[in-house]
Amino acid sequence: MPVEIVSRYATNTYVARVKGCKHTASCTESARQAAVALARKLGLDPAQLQEQRNDLLNPGQVMLFSHPGTI
């Protein structure tokens, strides 16, 4: 099952997390960099992260990424 990473902008930083997982990562640079940092923490290859289409109300606040690996 692919891993879905959600990066949310809050208090001048992007915070990435995976639902059902305690790990988080943050970055002030970009949502993608926060997702990359979390992928590394989880032992996943960050090069395989794929940005997903975002149909949420506030697309600038939340970014979705998927990874084909498992945790």
Domain ranges of the chain: 3-67
Q: Which residues contact residue 59 at a Cβ distance below 8 angstroms, ignoring those fewer than 6 apart?
A: none
Compute the distance between CA of residue 41 and CA of residue 38 in angstroms, rounded to an integer: 5
The pLDDT profile of the chain, 71 residues, written as one tens digit per residue, is 899 999 999 999 999 999 999 999 999 999 999 999 999 999 999 999 999 977 665 666 889 999 999 98
pTM: 0.89
State the amino acid at position 45 in one-letter form: D
Compute the distance between CA of residue 10 and CA of residue 68 in angstroms, rounded to an integer: 27
Compute the distance between CA of residue 32 and CA of residue 7 in angstroms, rounded to an integer: 8
